[in-house]
Amino acid sequence: ATTKPEDALPKSEIIVICVPTPVDENHLPDLRPVEAACKTIARNIGKSKEGNDKKNNLDVPLIVLESTVAPGTCDEVVITILESYGAEKLSRKLKNGKDFFVAHCPERIDPGNKKFHLEDLPRVVGASSDKGLEIAYSFYSSIIKADVLKVSSLKAAEAIKIVENSFRDINIAFVNELAKSFDKLGIDITEVIKGASTKPFAFMPHWPGCGVGGHCISVDPYYLIDKAHKKGFEHEFLKLARSINNSMPAYTISRAKEALAKIGKKITDVKISVLGVAYKKNVDDPRESPAIELIKELKEIGCKVNVYDPYLPKYSTVGTLDMALKSECVILCTDHDEFTSIKPEQLKAVKVFVDGRNSIDRKMFDGLGIVYHGIGR
């Protein structure tokens, strides 16, 4: 292993790019990590061809992009940079299909999920040429146990991952909107979703919460929104879903205000503890976490806020769960196991508990004198 690309790349047969593809503050795609990786590759595979010192079994390297990108990115960005940057740095131009092949095999992983491992997840792969596709197919078939599906183009492979995550974002937005409605109607959304889930076909349960985070679901739809906009089409449905899901931290705060009003308190009158900063349970990843936005909004309205996340101590202002539970108002943002196993005797100081993940049995709060509010329950 090495951290020096000039040592590894010239002799590599397969080069996999798996770098972040975030959005900027305006929710526009930020492809700088992909662009930087492509420039590094072009500079170094070009050295190999120039020096004629390539020592591997393939005539030319296969370059695979695993990062999630908008349809057309491999053609318009990856291949363009590999060819043009090679022309700039070397005495001749690199050519797709001659000096390298390009494939796209979007990564699939569910952090913290012990059921699905990397080698057990089916993959899809598209490429810029038939030969590149066959090489990519053989490569992934050799390292995973699950099926590998060949698709017709780079664009098709790129679109598949965007659709997967946009599908989830849209469905989460739907149940988040239902949650807001059901809070007005006095209906427990968890009961409704569990009931609907008894239908053995044509229904897939999704769950409401204090927001959608992570580097995939909350980001990837923006890539398709931006790409389609540039081509003259507006993804109104995707934009609406993003807007609904982005509204959930503020909505969760409104649930805290409603609960506090029942005991004659304003939200600025009490100390608030936020449980969890990570975007999902039992992981240490805060990227795009709705908890960060929720904490920011609480502070902006003048609230006194404590934060505790056992997986992210640098974000925590208190060192233990019991210290966090000394606040009158508690807002659970991440359903870490430590939080979902809270016992009644730990809640003696708590007057209001807002369950932003609907992850705790509300019956536990009966008889404790605690006002419990969930999201849609």
Q: Mean pLDDT over residues 230-240, rounded?
A: 98
Residue type, 11: K
- Render pLDDT for 262-290 as a digit per residue (tens, 0 to 9): 999 999 999 999 999 999 999 999 999 99
- Could you give the 3-state DSSP secondary structure of residue 122? coil
Is the confidence at residue 251, as pLDDT, over 80?
yes
CA distances (Å), origin 369, targets 132, 260, 351? 65, 13, 7
Is the confidence at residue 223, as pLDDT, over 80?
yes
* pTM over cut 0.75: yes
Residue type, 234: E
The more confidently predicted of residues 234 and 3 is 234
Lowest mean pLDDT: which of 50-64, 120-134, 321-335, 350-364? Answer: 50-64
- Render pLDDT for 99-113 as a digit per residue (tens, 0 to 9): 999 999 999 988 878
Q: What percent of the chain has pLDDT over 70?
A: 95
User: Could you tell me where in the chain the CATH 1.10.1040.10 domains are found?
Assistant: 161-244
- Could you give the 3-state DSSP secondary structure of residue 16? strand
Other CB atoms within 10 Å distance of the CB of residue 211: 27
- Render pLDDT for 151-205 as a digit per residue (tens, 0 to 9): 999 999 999 999 999 999 999 999 999 999 999 999 999 999 999 999 999 999 9
- CA 204 – CA 174 distance, rounded (Å): 12
Which of the four pLDDT bands, split at 50, 70 and 90, describes residue 117?
A: confident
Q: Mean pLDDT over residues 236-263, rounded?
A: 98
- Could you give the 3-state DSSP secondary structure of residue 126? strand
Q: What is the pLDDT of residue 64?
A: 99
Q: What is the pLDDT of residue 48?
A: 54
CATH architecture of 5-152: 3-Layer(aba) Sandwich (3.40)
Catalytic residue numbers, as ranges = 216
The more confidently predicted of residues 370 and 109 is 370
Is the confidence at residue 89, as pLDDT, over 70?
no
SS (H, E, C) 304-362: EEEEECCCCHHHCCCCCHHHHCCCCEEEECCCCHHHHCCCHHHHCCCCEEEECCCCCCH
User: Could you tell me where in the chain the CATH 3.40.50.720 domains are found?
Assistant: 5-152, 248-374
154-185 helix and 248-261 helix, angle to the nearest 10 degrees: 10
Distance between first and last Cα of the chain: 52
Q: Which DSSP category does 100 fall into?
A: B
Q: What is the pLDDT of residue 86?
A: 74
What DSSP string describes 54-98? Answer: --SSSSS-EEEE-S---TTHIIIIIIHHHHHHHHHHSSS---BTT
- CA 270 – CA 27 distance, rounded (Å): 34
What CATH number was assigned to the domain covering residues 248-374? 3.40.50.720
- CA 132 – CA 151 distance, rounded (Å): 12
- Render pLDDT for 24-72 as a digit per residue (tens, 0 to 9): 999 999 999 999 999 999 988 866 555 545 444 567 899 999 999 999 9
Among 267, 256, 275, which Cα is nearest to 360's? 275
Q: Are 315 and 371 in contact (CB under 8 A)?
A: no
Q: What is the pLDDT of residue 47?
A: 65
Q: What is the pLDDT of residue 229?
A: 98
Q: What is the pLDDT of residue 56?
A: 45
Top CATH class, 161-244: mainly alpha
